[in-house]
Structure 1
Amino acid sequence: MQKIPISIKKYIDNNIAYPVALIGCRATAPKTSLDCCEYDLAIFSERVPGHENKFLRIGDHNIELIYISANPRKNIIATNGMIVAKDFVADYPFVASSPDGLSHQSFDYSNYANALTAFGKKAIVGSLFCYDKIDKVVSKSPILASMWLKISAYDFLEGILALSGYRPMPLHELNQIRNLNSEEQNISNGIKVALACIGIERATRSTISRSSSALLQLYSEDYDKELVIEKARHLTKLGMLPDCYYYLGKMARKVLVNKNATFCNSYSKLIQMSMDLSIDAPQIQKLQVELFRTAKKVLKNYRRITAA
C-alpha cells in the first residue's frame, strides 16, 4: 500500500476537519508515479466559502487539496482505489479501518465500469462535436481550426482509454496509450490518427519551452499552474519529450475548451504557441475527416458490442 508521508499526514490531522483520502496516481498506480507527481488529497465536504482547491508544498512534496462531494459515490471514477487518510470510520462506517489509520476504500464500486464507459462515450461524442467547429473556422482562422483538431484528438484518446477500462491520468496518458493492446482495428487506427493530429513527432526541447511559456500566460491566476510547469520541467529533464509535449497540449486543452471566440481570437498567438499549432489548412482538413470517421466507427462498434 502507498504510504502517505508523515509530514503530509501531520498536515491533514492538524489542518483539515473533514474526511480525507489520497486519490490519483499516488494511490492507484504508485509504481508509475514520478517524483513530480503531487499527492491529490480529496477532502469530502460540500464546498463552502473559503474552501477552494489549492496547491501547496509540504517539505519535498507537492500537494493538491481537492474539495469534492461528501458522498464519494458521486465521484466514482475519481475515488476508485482511494486510500483513506482521516475520519472515514466515523463518517462512513462501510469503510474498513486499518491499524495505521490508512486503508484502501472498500466501497461497492460495481458501477465503476459503467461510469467509466459512460465517461468514455461522452468523450468520444465530444470529439465528434469538434468537427463542425473546425469547419466553421478553417478557412478564416487555421490556428483555431488546428486548436479544435487537437482538442478533438485529446478527447478521442481520453475516450478510448476509458472504454478500455483505464482512468485517464494526464501526466501518464501517453504512456497509458502506448500500453494499450487493442485488437480492434478501428481503435488502433484511431490512436494513430489522433496522435498525428496532436503531432507527437514535433516534440523538441524548443517547442516544449515555447509551449510552457505560453501556457503559463494562458493559465493566468489558476492555482495549479506552478505544478503544471514543474511537471513539464521534470519530464524534460528525464528526456521524456513526447510525454511532456502531449501533457502540455492536454493542459492547454483544459484551459481553452470552454473559452469563447472572442478570447480565442484575442489570444490566438499564445494559443498557437501553447499547443504548437500548425496552420496547414489542407492537412488540418485531411486529419479532421480521418479522425471523425474513425471516432464514428469506434462509437458505433462499441454500441453494437454492448447491445449484443
Structure 2
Amino acid sequence: MLEQIVSRYKQYPLALTGCRARAKDLAYDVCEYNILLLEDASINNTLHHYDSPSIDESNASSTGKGKNGLDGHIGSSMSNGSDEYIYMDDGSIARIHRIYRDTRMVEKVMLLDGMIILNDVNSRLSMLEAKMARVSRKVKILHARSLMADALFYASNAIHARDALEASFWLRSAACSYIEAHILSSGYVPMPSHILAQMRALSDINASTIAECLGLEQANRSSTARAMRALIHVLASFHYSRFAMTVVRKKLEYLSSMGMYTDACTYICYICSKLVEGKGIIMGSIKHLPVYDMLSIAMNLSSDHLSTSRLADTLLSICKARLNAY
C-alpha cells in the first residue's frame, strides 16, 4: 500500500515514520501510516540548521504547535488535524507530515527519528539523516527538560487548585508531561497511543506513582467506553477534522476490544491534556470551558482533593529530582 503513496508524491523525498517505522512491535493494526514529506523549499534551510555548530534551546525545545495532529510525533503539539489524511486502497489511513522551511528543530528531529526512507530524491533524506545524528540527542534532552518543567508546573497547580476536579486535571496533565519527558530523555520518541507501553519498558520511571496520578486503577470496560464517548464530544467541540477523529476512535476501539483499558485511558488523558495546553488555559479557568463536564468524564477526574494533593506533592518532588539530573 505504500507504493500508492510513493506514486502519488513521487517528486518529493518521502519516508515512513511513527510507530510503523520505529516500533513495529507496538504498532496496532489500526494505526495510521505516518509519512514524512520533505518540501523542496525546506531542504537547504533544513540542512543549514543541522550544520549549525550549536542549537538554540528555544528552537530545540519548542513544540512547533499547529504542525502535528492528535497522534503526532511531537507529544506537546496538538493541532486541529490540518495534516493531509489519505484513505489507502486497503482501507487503512495514511497521514502526511510536511517539513517546511519554518518547521521547528524538535519536530524535524522527531519526524526523522527511526524513519524508513521510501523515496530519496537527490539523496536529500539520507543527507539529512546523517546530519541529524549529530544533534538528535541534544534536541531530545532539551525538549525533555522543557516537558519536565511543564510537569513540575502542572503538579504545583494541582496542589494549589481550589477545585477538586481542576486539581485532578492538573495532576493528570503533570503525569502525561512527565512520561513524555522521561521517554525523550531515554532517547526515544513519545508516541501518544503507545505512551503507556513505552513507559512500562523504561526503568526508574516511578510507574506506580504515575499510574495513580492518572487514575489507572479505575480503568475498566465501562469507564473506558464512557471516556471515549466524552472525548469524541470534546474533539468535535474543538472542531477537529473527521479524519483525525476517525484515527483516534479506531485506536480507542481497538484498545478497548483488546482489554487494554489502562492504555486507552492514558491515551485519552494525554489528548485532553494537550487540547487544554494548546488553548493556553491557566489555573482557575478550566471550569469555564464549555466542554468542562465532558472533559471531566473523559479524563475520569477525581473529586478526592486530599488524595490528589498528596499525589501531586509526591510527583512534584520526583519532577524536581529529574530536572536537577538533566
Instruction: Report the TM-score range of the alignment, normalised by the length of the smaller protein.
Output: 0.7 to 0.9
Distance in 2, Cα, partners of 1:282 & 1:73: 40
The question of 1:235 aligning with 2:268 is answered no
Could you give the per-residue CA deviations for residues 138-180 of structure 1, whole angstroms, max 9, x where no partner exists?
Answer: 32x2222211110011101111111122211112211111111
Q: Name the residue aligned to 1:159.
A: 181
Q: Give TM-score, length-normalised by structure 2.
A: 0.77
> Aligned AA for 2:291?
Y
Change in CA separation of 1:227 and 1:154 when aligned onto 2, cut-off 3 Å:
same
Aligned residues: 276
Structure 1: 5+ residue stretches without partners:
96-104, 304-308
The question of 1:83 aligning with 2:107 is answered no
> How far did 1:52 drift?
4.2
> Aligned AA for 1:269?
D
4+ residue segments displaced more than 4 Å: 70-73, 90-93, 105-108, 261-264
> Aligned AA for 1:42?
L
Structure with the bigger RCO (C-alpha within 8 Å, sep 6+) is 2
Q: Name the residue aligned to 2:223.
A: 207
Q: Give TM-score, length-normalised by structure 1.
A: 0.81
Structure 2: 5+ residue stretches without partners:
43-80
SS of aligned partner of 1:297: helix
Comparing 70-79 and 14-23, the one that deviates more? 70-79
Q: How does 1:74-113 map to 2 (within 5 A)?
A: 74=105, 75-89=108-122, 91=124, 94=127, 105-113=129-137
Query: Highest CA radius of gyration, 1 or 2?
Result: 1
Q: Name the residue aligned to 2:272.
A: 252
> Aligned AA for 2:264?
C
Q: How does 1:115-126 map to 2 (within 5 A)?
A: 115-126=139-150
The question of 1:57 aligning with 2:87 is answered yes
Change in CA separation of 1:72 and 1:21 when aligned onto 2, cut-off 3 Å:
farther
Distance in 2, Cα, partners of 1:16 & 1:252: 36
Distance in 1, Cα, partners of 2:25 & 2:272: 27
SS of aligned partner of 1:248: helix
Q: Name the residue aligned to 2:56.
A: none
Distance in 1, Cα, partners of 2:13 & 2:102: 11
The question of 1:11 aligning with 2:31 is answered no
% identity of equivalent residues: 24
SS of aligned partner of 1:78: helix
Q: How does 1:1-308 map to 2 (within 5 A)?
A: 5=1, 8-15=2-9, 17-45=11-39, 52-58=82-88, 59-69=90-100, 74=105, 75-89=108-122, 91=124, 94=127, 105-136=129-160, 138-139=161-162, 141-182=163-204, 187-188=205-206, 191-220=207-236, 221-223=239-241, 224-259=244-279, 260=281, 264-265=287-288, 266-300=290-324, 302-303=325-326
Distance in 2, Cα, partners of 1:161 & 1:86: 29
| Root mean square deviation, CA, Å | 2.5
Distance in 2, Cα, partners of 1:205 & 1:10: 37
